[in-house]
Amino acid sequence: MALKRMVLQLGQGTDIHGADSTKAAERAVRDALWRNFLQIADALGQPRDAMDIHVTIGAPRPETIDKSAVAAVFPYGSVEVQCEEGGLEIPTPNGEDATLLAHAAVIVRMQVPDSALDAKAAGGVAG
């Protein structure tokens, strides 16, 4: 079995008032997920919890993001969250508040039987 990338989902989230990076990151993940119904695990005959999920969040002040809160958005799978400098922060004219924008890239990987990889390498299709 080999772990293979199956899906890349992208999302954007905002916190309109308060510039909370965690809220914006959670919303970015939901934005990425709620546009899709992934049936990859079903197609591979595996449980959904077998999904290996890697999330990269780009947001201002990435060190303030609660990674466990972001991971909790996912209903199943093994989730790893990485946070990087990115996104956008727009202060209000008086400088007392800000709107924060975060981006999420969600990569879903699954174990694929070696026989499927061998068939692909041979130019065939695995059943």
Q: How many CB atoms lie within 10 A of CB 123?
A: 6
pLDDT-derived band of residue 123, with 50, 70 and 90 as boundaries? Answer: low
Q: Quick check: is 106 in a domain?
A: yes
Residue 21 sits in a domain of what CATH number? 3.30.1330.20
- Residue 73 belongs to domain spanning: 2-116
pLDDT tens digits, one per residue of 74-115: 999 999 999 999 999 999 999 999 999 999 999 999 988 776
pLDDT of residue 39: 82
Residue 39 in domain: yes
pTM of the predicted model as reported, rounded to 2 decimal places: 0.84
Domain count along the chain = 1
